[in-house]
Structure formats: C-alpha cells, structure tokens
C-alpha cells in the first residue's frame, strides 16, 4: 500500500494560466503551454511541478533543479536551468499562494480531511429550533443548540459544539471538537479543531471571602474572512463584546481575553497571550509568545516581536521588542551594548590571566 496523498491537486494549469494568476510575466513566452500538475518545494522539485524561489539567498536551489516552472523575481530569473519555464513576479510569495489555492482548494478548508459529510450526519444532535440554510454539512457527533443559525455552505466537523443562539455565516468551517458559545461569526470564517470561542472571561475580584466571580455577559464577534488556529481560546466579553476584525489571522494556541478588540487584517502568531480589554489597531503583527498586559492600546500597523512582554501603549507604525518591551531600535542597542561589555570584560580577563 502506497503512502496516502491527503491533498491531491484538483486541476492542472498551463504555465500561461499560472502566470496570469500570478500577475507576472513569462521570461520565455514559448513556454506558455507547459503543464503544471502541482506545487513542490524548491529543494525537491519534480517533473510537472511549480516551485518558488525566494530571492538571491536561495538562488543556489536552482542548481540541478527539475521542475515544470519556477516562480521568482527578475534578479534570479537568469539562473533558472534551461528547459524550465520562468514566471517573473514582483511579489512571488503572494503569487505562489494564489496559484496554490487554485490547485489545492480542499487544503484551504479541510472538509474532506475532517470527514464531514455533504449533509447532516445521523449521529449529529441538531436542535429542532436551530436554523440551517441549504448546503450546511454537519459531521458525526456534532451538537447544534437551540436557536443557533448556520449559513449556506458552512461545514461543522465531527464533535464540534455550536451553542444556543450562536450565529455562523456562510461558507465557514468549524473544525473537529471546537466549541462556540455566545458568538456571532461572519462569512468565510475558518475555526480549526479544538478552538474554544465564547467561554467565560477571567473575571474575578478579590473579596473578604476570596475571589468573587464577575458575570461575563458579553459576546464574541468575529468578522468576515477571519482564521482561528487549533486550540486557540477567545473569551467572551464581560460587559462589552470581544471583537476580531475582518481578515485577521490567528495562529494555534493563542489566548485572547475578554473585551479585547482586534482590528482588521492583523496576524497573531502562536502562543501569544492578549489580556483583557486590550485594543489592537488594523494591520498589527504580534510575534509568537508575545504577552500583552491588560488595557494596553496598540496602534495601526505596529509590530510586536516574538517573546516580547508589552506593558505600555504602542503608537501606530512602531516596532517594539524585549521584555519588558520597548522601541525595537532601543532594545537592540541595549543588547548590543551588553554584548560588547561582556566581550570586552572577557578579553581583559584573558589578558590579565
């Protein structure tokens, strides 16, 4: 028995079609009819494959390459071996992703991989008070509560739980074992397996008898085209809503506290932790394991480096790093200074010895 191929390409493309998708130009127009039947890493290549080579530092991967076509920038196009089509693009990474989505559409939503039928599975528990539009798929063991509404083309994977009165838009995907409570979710949202959306926020107040629990009566609002990674948790608001803006992408194992507001088209990497009532602007990038203290505001387009501990507001467009975090240039200047002092001290110790 051969190894399984979980994501076979659903079509083939000519080099000319791929170039049009990429918004790029063919180095040799005569190669437009060459067929592409899949993608491959440049280090592997393969007959019929399209590979992407990222800049001069990886140009050595072109030596001895076997492929149907290479997608790259103009500065290394001349290094592609003879017989391989060259698609030149100013933004080859984005172009490669666009072509990949055309070749492997099932890899975007993973419906087949999750074993979701094209209908409602017999073992799914769907409340008679729930409203499912035509074309909703529900996997085995999934539970959909009273008053929940799910839009056309959405897929609920096995053992997922959709709580009472939740709203899920059209063409969404909810992965295996995910739970969604007290949430309003837009269109084309992807929520991967094990994610927890809408549970209590961490609301306690110290009192004479111990920690007093504060009722969390808000919601989670997730706008269109958001992607939420596996085992990520998003708490519902205490009084206001927790909001994730349109087009934002959240990695696996991220914690988002109550009342957080994340803007549009942000990226949050794995193991980041965002405390309650943080406000994040549009286009913000948070590196892996970044920790954000409560009530902090991060301006549009700001970047917080991996492993940073942020306890202060960040103006729009600035880059911060470190623990505690500060403007990145200041942080790296301090790191360099400490390194230089340590190096000088070591040299002096060697000389005295």
pLDDT digits (tens, 9 = 90+) for 103-139: 999 888 777 778 888 899 999 999 999 999 999 999 9
Nearest to 318 by CA among 334, 332, 333, 329: 329
CB 175 within 8 A of CB 110: yes
What was the pLDDT predicted at 114? 83
Q: Which of 192, 205, 258, 295 is catalytic?
A: 258
pLDDT above 90 covers a percentage of the chain that reads: 86
How many angstroms separate the CA atoms of 161 and 348, rounded?
A: 65
Q: Is 295 among the residues known to form the active site?
A: no
Distance of CA 278 to the CA centre of its chain: 20
Predicted structure pTM score? 0.89
- Using a pLDDT cut of 70, give the percent of the chain over it: 97
Alpha carbon distance 181, 65 (integer Å) = 50
Task: Give, in order, the Cα–Cα distances in Å from 330 to each of 19, 266, 307.
Answer: 43, 24, 16
Q: Is 304 exposed, middle or buried (0-12, 13-18, 19+ CB in 10 A)?
A: buried
Lowest mean pLDDT, pick from 145-149, 195-199, 205-209, 313-317: 205-209
Closest CA to 263 of 239, 232, 285, 292: 285
Of 288, 293, 184, 179, residue with least CA distance to 231: 179
> What are the start and end residues of each CATH 3.40.1390.10 domain in the chain?
13-104
Question: Quick check: 87 and 25 in contact, CB under 8 A?
Answer: yes
> Residue 324: is its pLDDT beyond 90?
yes
Q: For 254-258, what is the mean pLDDT?
A: 98
Superfamily of domain 178-329: Hexapeptide repeat proteins (2.160.10.10)
CA distances from 205 to 187, 208, 215 (A): 37, 10, 11
- pLDDT recorded at residue 349: 62
The pLDDT of residue 340 is above 90: no
pLDDT averaged over every residue in the chain: 94
| Distant-in-sequence contacts of 345-350, Cβ < 8 A, 24+ apart | none
* Residue extent(s) of CATH 2.160.10.10 domains in the chain: 178-329
How far is it, in rounded angstroms, from Cα 134 to Cα 127? 16
Show Cβ contacts of residue 250 under 8 Å, excluding neighbours closer than 6 positions: 226, 227, 228, 229, 232, 244, 256, 268
Angle at which helix 15-22 crosses helix 92-103, to 10 degrees, equals: 120
According to the model, what pLDDT value does residue 169 have?
98
Residue 189 confidence (pLDDT) = 97
Q: Span 287-302, mean pLDDT?
A: 98
Superfamily name and number for 13-104: MurE/MurF, N-terminal domain (3.40.1390.10)
Please determine, for residue 61, whether its predicted confidence score (pLDDT) is greater than 70: yes
Taking 60 as the threshold, does the pLDDT of residue 351 lie above it?
A: no
Average the pLDDT over 6-31 and give the result: 94
What pLDDT score does 111 carry? Answer: 79
Tens digit of pLDDT for each residue in 140-174?
999 999 999 999 999 999 999 999 999 999 999 99
Q: Which residue has the tokens 């191929």?
A: 5
CB atoms within 10 A of CB 295: 12
Q: How high is the pLDDT of residue 335?
A: 87
Is residue 1 very low, low, confident or very high in pLDDT (cuts 50, 70, 90)?
low
pLDDT at 323 over 70: yes
Question: Residue 211 above 70 pLDDT?
Answer: yes
Q: What was the pLDDT predicted at 338?
A: 87
Residue 44 CB neighbour total at 10 angstroms: 12
Res 99: pLDDT: 97
How are beta strands 161-162 and 179-180 bridged, if at all? parallel
């Amino acid at each position: 028995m051969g190894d399984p191929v979980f994501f076979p390409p659903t079509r083939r493309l000519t080099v000319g079609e791929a170039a049009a998708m990429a918004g790029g130009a063919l180095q040799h127009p005569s190669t437009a009819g060459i067929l592409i039947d899949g993608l491959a890493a440049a280090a592997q290549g393969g007959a019929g494959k399209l590979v992407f080579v990222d800049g001069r530092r990886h140009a050595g991967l072109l030596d001895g390459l076997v492929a149907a076509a290479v997608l790259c920038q103009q500065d290394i196009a001349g290094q592609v071996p003879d017989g391989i089509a060259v698609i030149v693009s100013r933004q080859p990474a984005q172009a490669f992703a666009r072509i990949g989505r055309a070749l492997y559409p099932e890899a975007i939503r993973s419906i087949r991989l999750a074993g979701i039928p094209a209908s409602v599975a017999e073992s799914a528990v769907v409340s008679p008070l729930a409203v499912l539009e035509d074309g909703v798929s529900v996997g085995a063991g999934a539970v959909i509560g009273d008053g929940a509404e799910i839009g056309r083309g959405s897929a609920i994977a096995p053992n997922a739980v959709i709580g009472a009165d939740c709203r899920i838009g059209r063409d969404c995907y909810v992965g295996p074992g995910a739970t969604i409570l007290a949430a309003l979710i837009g269109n084309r949202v992807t929520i991967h397996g094990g994610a927890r959306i809408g549970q209590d926020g961490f609301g306690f107040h110290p009192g004479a008898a111990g920690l007093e629990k504060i009722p969390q009566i808000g919601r989670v609002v997730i706008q269109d085209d958001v992607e939420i990674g596996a085992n990520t948790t998003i708490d519902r608001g205490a009084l206001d809503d927790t909001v994730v803006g349109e087009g934002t992408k959240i990695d696996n194992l991220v914690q988002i506290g109550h009342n957080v507001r994340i803007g549009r088209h942000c990226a949050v990497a794995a193991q980041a932790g965002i405390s309650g009532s943080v406000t994040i602007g549009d286009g913000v990038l948070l590196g892996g394991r970044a920790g954000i203290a409560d009530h902090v505001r991060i301006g549009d387009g700001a970047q917080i480096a991996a492993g940073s501990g942020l306890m202060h507001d960040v103006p729009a467009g600035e880059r911060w790093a470190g623990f505690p975090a500060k403007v990145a240039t200041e942080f790296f200047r301090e790191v360099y200074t400490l390194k230089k002092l340590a190096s000088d001290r070591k040299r002096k110790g060697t000389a005295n010895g």
